[in-house]
Amino acid sequence: MEPLGYGFLLLFLHILKAVIALEEKMIISKLGDNATLSCIYQERDLHLKNLRVYWQIVDDQEECSVVHTLISGQDNESEQCIHFKNRTRLFQDRLGNGDFSLLLLNVSQSDERRYKCVVLQKTEYTRVIYQAEVILSLAASYSQPILSGPIRNSDSTGEEVTFSCKSGNGYPKPNVYWINKTDNSHLHPSELKITPHTDGTYSIFSTLKVKATSNMEIECSIENKILRENLSANYTEQKQNNGSSIESHKNLEKNRRGAQAAGIISIVILMGIIAVLSCWLWRQRSSKLRSYTDVPPNEDRGGNNSPV
């Protein structure tokens, strides 16, 4: 029994070592960006001529799973999947230090997979010396949501009113929440429309129908779980003692228009006064000129010069 127990312990340690050797990381990248898939072997004094590095997709159902291959320090594209042609790079200046990380260019939804990096060393025989798995998740931030509330021309307390909320250019599909901020209760949307775009992102449009209250505080929230982003927009309407906020706004608008009209009238009157004053000055000047031209010539000059 003792040799059996010792053998089982060795097998367990061997399996545990294999599990530890397989590192797993998650990388989050935005659509269209370049993503670096990490694969770093910490050992020193590596001889690239004795190494083979394989990057592949961890999916048995894929017809082609080869992402990138490095053989004896040279890239080998003979078996690379067409989807990854001219889109993968290794950092040549880091290979000697055991950094076999892969740069994946211009990522899209089809790149959202689990990848595996396998490093093999060939001496007397070929053996796996390191392996790592990387999960690539893609995301894009949604735009700040725009929340539109109802236009209430009168006291519509108790009547059904409609709110709308929209946002776009995000990925993946978001969670949309409507919240009554007066008691932080969640409200069920009347409509939720998620529209895909050609670049892979989504836009959302949602509506909420509720019965109006005297003080409404509604929030629309857009959650992107991968990026851990939660964007929100709020609507608040408070009733005043002298009427609704709409009526107050109308009164302010009337006052503003009245002030504008009074200003225009004042300008017209001022221009009229200036015109009358200018005309009067012109007439005064004209009358003086006429008085100068009507004076007779000096007759004494002719008398003094006449002969005796």
Of 220, 242, 264, the position where a domain reaches its end is 242
Each residue's pLDDT expressed in tens, for the chain with a length of 308 residues:
444 444 443 344 344 344 445 667 899 998 899 999 999 998 767 889 999 999 999 986 778 899 999 999 999 999 999 999 999 999 999 998 999 999 999 999 999 999 999 999 988 888 999 999 999 999 999 999 999 988 655 566 788 999 999 999 999 999 999 999 999 999 999 999 999 999 889 999 999 999 988 888 999 999 999 999 999 999 987 554 444 444 444 455 556 676 777 778 878 788 888 887 888 777 777 766 555 555 555 544 444 444 43
Which pLDDT does position 29 carry in this prediction? 93
The reply to whether 200 and 151 lie within a common domain is: yes
Of 192, 209, 242, the position where a domain reaches its end is 242
Which pLDDT does position 17 carry in this prediction? 44
The reply to whether 127 and 234 lie within a common domain is: no
Residue 7 lies in a domain: no
The reply to whether 61 and 26 lie within a common domain is: yes
Which pLDDT does position 151 carry in this prediction? 65
Residue 185 lies in a domain: yes
The reply to whether 48 and 100 lie within a common domain is: yes
Residue 307 lies in a domain: no
The reply to whether 132 and 150 lie within a common domain is: no
Name the β-bridge partners of 179: 186, 219
Of 96, 111, 138, the position where a domain reaches its end is 138
The reply to whether 62 and 103 lie within a common domain is: yes
The reply to whether 157 and 203 lie within a common domain is: yes
Which pLDDT does position 213 carry in this prediction? 85
The count of C-alpha atoms lying within 13 angstroms of the C-alpha of 257, restricted to the half-sphere facing its C-beta, is 6
Residue 261 lies in a domain: no
The CATH number given to whatever domain includes residue 57 is 2.60.40.10
- Burial bucket for residue 288 (CB in 10 Å: 0-12, 13-18, 19+): exposed
Q: In what helix (H) or strand (E) does residue 150 lie, and over which residues does it extend?
A: none
**CA–CA gap between residue 57 and residue 117 (Å, rounded):** 9
The reply to whether 112 and 45 lie within a common domain is: yes
Residue 91 lies in a domain: yes
- Burial bucket for residue 100 (CB in 10 Å: 0-12, 13-18, 19+): buried
205 secondary structure, DSSP code? E
Domain that holds residue 178: 146-242
The reply to whether 133 and 150 lie within a common domain is: no
The reply to whether 164 and 186 lie within a common domain is: yes
Residue 253 lies in a domain: no
**Domains: count for the chain:** 2
**DSSP secondary structure, 47-94, as one string:** -GGGEEEEEEES-TT-S--EEEEEETTEE--TT--GGGTT-EEE-GGG
The reply to whether 200 and 114 lie within a common domain is: no
Per-residue tokens: 104: 């994946």
Residue 50 lies in a domain: yes
Residue 110 lies in a domain: yes
The reply to whether 131 and 26 lie within a common domain is: yes
